[in-house]
C-alpha cells in the first residue's frame, strides 16, 4: 500500500451532558497518516486540544479491534463510517484523502441518550437481554457437551447470529430507530439451538415487549441495519423474529 499524509477539517458534535444542547464544532488536523486508524486520528486531535487547554472530545472505545462494540461514531452520515462490515475503530485513514471534511456525530436515537459529545447510553440493550436473551441454566446443571449433537447448519447459523457485538449501529442507521436486528440476532441464535427450546416462546415475547418499552421504533424493512452492521448480521433474522413472535403469540395462553 502507498502511504500518504493528509490535512483534514473535522466537524464534530460537542455536547456537555445529557441535558445541554449540542452543536457541531470545527477542528483542523494536520499530517494524518493514511496508516492511522480513525480513532488514532482522534487521539491526535485530543492531544492537540489538551495541549491547547481545551476539553478533549469524549468518545467510547475500548478493544480497538472491532469486537467489543463500544465504539460508536456516525461518520459522514454513516454508522461506523464509509467501509462496510466495519467498526469505527477498524476504519483506517486511507479511506480519506487530503483536504477532506469529515462530519462526526453520536448515535442518534431516543433509546440511546447522549451522555457527552459522541458517547451515548446503550443500557437499553442490556435491559432487552435481561428480559430473556439467555438460557436459564445455573452453573453446574449441564450435561456432557457432546450428548447434544447439533446439525452443523443450525450451529453455523446460530453462530452467525451470535456474532452481534451490540454496538447499536443498526439502531443508529435506522430511520425508525428500530432495534429489530439486535433483538432478532439473539432470538434467532437461541431459537435455532436445542438448548434454547424450553424458553423459546417466552423469550421472544419478553424481549420484544422490552424493546417496545425502551422506545425503539418499528421495522419498516429498509434493510439499512444489515447494510451498516459491522458483523454482517442478516435481516433474515428479523424475518425469523417475526415468525417466532407470531407463533409464540398464537400458542401462548394469555
| Ranges within 5-34 binding other proteins (CB under 8 A) | 17, 33
Sign of CA dihedral 87, 90, 96, 100: positive
- In the chain, the DSSP E strands lie at 5-14, 23-33, 74-75, 78-79, 101-105, 114-116, 119-120
Q: How far is the CB of 220 from other proteins (least distance, A)?
A: 27
Task: Work out the number of other CB atoms within 10 angstroms of the CB of residue 95.
Answer: 16
User: Does residue 209 bind other proteins (CB under 8 A)?
Assistant: no
- Distance, CA of 137 to CA of 64 (rounded, Å): 32
Helix (H, G, I), strand (E, B) or coil at 5: strand
User: Does residue 112 bind other proteins (CB under 8 A)?
Assistant: no
Considering only 154-162, 172-180, 214-222, 235-243, which stretch makes contact with other proteins by CB under 8 A?
A: 154-162
User: Does residue 61 bind other proteins (CB under 8 A)?
Assistant: yes
User: Nearer to other proteins by C-beta: 25 or 43?
Assistant: 43
Q: In the set 73, 193, 204, 219, which binds other proteins (CB under 8 A)?
A: 193
Considering only 64-72, 99-107, 221-229, 236-244, which stretch makes contact with other proteins by CB under 8 A?
A: 64-72
Beta bridge partners of 213: none
Helix (H, G, I), strand (E, B) or coil at 138: coil
Q: Which of 22, 25, 33 is nearest to 9 (CA)?
A: 25
User: Does residue 173 bind other proteins (CB under 8 A)?
Assistant: no
| Residues numbered 213-252 forming contacts with other proteins, rule: CB under 8 A | none
User: Nearer to other proteins by C-beta: 139 or 250?
Assistant: 139
Q: What are phi and psi of 79, to 5 degrees?
A: -65, 125
Considering only 59-67, 169-177, 217-225, 238-246, which stretch makes contact with other proteins by CB under 8 A?
A: 59-67
- Distance, CA of 81 to CA of 104 (rounded, Å): 9
**86 burial type by CB count under 10 A (0-12 exposed, 13-18 middle, 19+ buried):** buried
Q: How far is the CB of 27 from other proteins (least distance, A)?
A: 15
User: Does residue 152 bind other proteins (CB under 8 A)?
Assistant: yes
User: Nearer to other proteins by C-beta: 114 or 238?
Assistant: 114
| Residues numbered 68-87 forming contacts with other proteins, rule: CB under 8 A | 68-70, 83, 85-86
Amino acid at each position: 500500500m502507498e502511504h500518504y499524509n493528509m490535512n483534514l477539517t473535522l466537524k464534530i458534535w460537542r455536547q456537555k451532558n445529557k441535558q445541554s444542547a449540542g452543536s457541531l464544532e470545527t477542528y483542523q488536523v494536520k499530517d494524518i497518516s493514511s496508516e492511522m486508524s480513525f480513532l488514532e486520528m482522534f487521539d491526535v486531535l485530543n492531544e492537540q486540544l489538551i495541549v491547547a487547554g481545551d476539553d478533549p472530545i469524549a468518545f467510547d472505545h475500548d478493544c480497538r479491534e472491532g469486537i467489543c462494540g463500544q465504539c460508536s461514531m456516525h461518520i459522514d452520515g454513516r454508522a461506523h463510517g464509509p467501509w462496510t462490515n466495519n467498526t469505527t475503530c477498524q476504519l483506517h485513514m486511507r479511506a480519506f484523502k487530503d483536504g477532506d471534511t469529515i462530519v462526526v456525530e453520536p448515535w442518534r436515537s431516543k433509546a440511546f441518550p447522549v451522555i457527552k459529545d459522541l458517547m451515548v447510553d446503550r443500557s437499553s440493550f442490556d435491559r432487552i437481554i435481561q428480559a430473556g436473551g439467555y438460557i436459564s441454566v445455573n452453573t453446574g446443571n449441564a450435561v456432557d457437551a457432546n450428548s447434544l449433537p447439533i446439525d452443523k447448519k443450525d450451529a453455523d447459523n446460530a453462530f452467525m447470529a451470535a456474532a452481534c457485538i451490540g454496538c447499536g449501529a443498526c439502531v443508529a442507521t435506522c430511520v425508525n430507530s428500530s432495534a429489530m436486528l439486535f433483538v432478532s440476532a439473539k432470538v434467532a441464535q437461541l431459537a435455532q439451538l436445542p438448548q434454547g427450546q424450553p424458553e423459546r416462546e417466552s423469550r421472544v415475547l419478553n424481549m420484544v415487549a422490552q424493546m417496545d418499552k425502551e422506545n425503539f421504533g418499528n421495522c419498516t424493512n429498509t434493510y439499512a441495519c444489515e447494510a451498516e452492521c459491522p458483523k454482517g448480521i442478516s435481516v433474515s433474522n428479523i424475518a425469523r423474529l417475526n415468525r417466532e413472535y407470531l407463533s409464540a403469540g398464537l400458542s401462548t395462553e394469555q
